[in-house]
Amino acid sequence: MAHVYKRNPPVSMLVVRVESEYHKKATGITAFTCNAGDEIKQVIEEAINTGQSRSIRVQSTGKNSAGEIVAEFWITWSFKAKG
């Protein structure tokens, strides 16, 4: 969301698919991270520059406080410049 917040031109953002795998029961705090920020930013720039919608599939991994993987999500995002 940081890459589309207050953009000029504005960019619409939509989740078009979510896939997941669960590895163990989450007990306690689970932190999810996604390391595809640069790739997402590039897709947003392509959407702005071409005027066409662009999609990207990224992974988010959830780990418990011991650093064990609890769950993995693959989220497909679609971006399009408005106007």
- Buried b / exposed e over 11-29, threshold 16 CB at 10 Å, is bebeeeeeeeeeeeeeeee
Query: From residue 58, how far is each of 1, 8, 19, 29 by CA, in Å?
Result: 14, 24, 10, 22
83 pLDDT higher than 90: no
User: How does residue 65 score in pLDDT terms, banded at 50, 70 and 90?
Assistant: very high
pLDDT of residue 48: 95
Go through the domains of the chain in sequence order and give each one's CATH number.
Answer: 11-81 (3.10.129.10)
Angstrom distance (rounded) from CA 6 to CA 75 = 23
Share of the chain above pLDDT 90, in %: 88
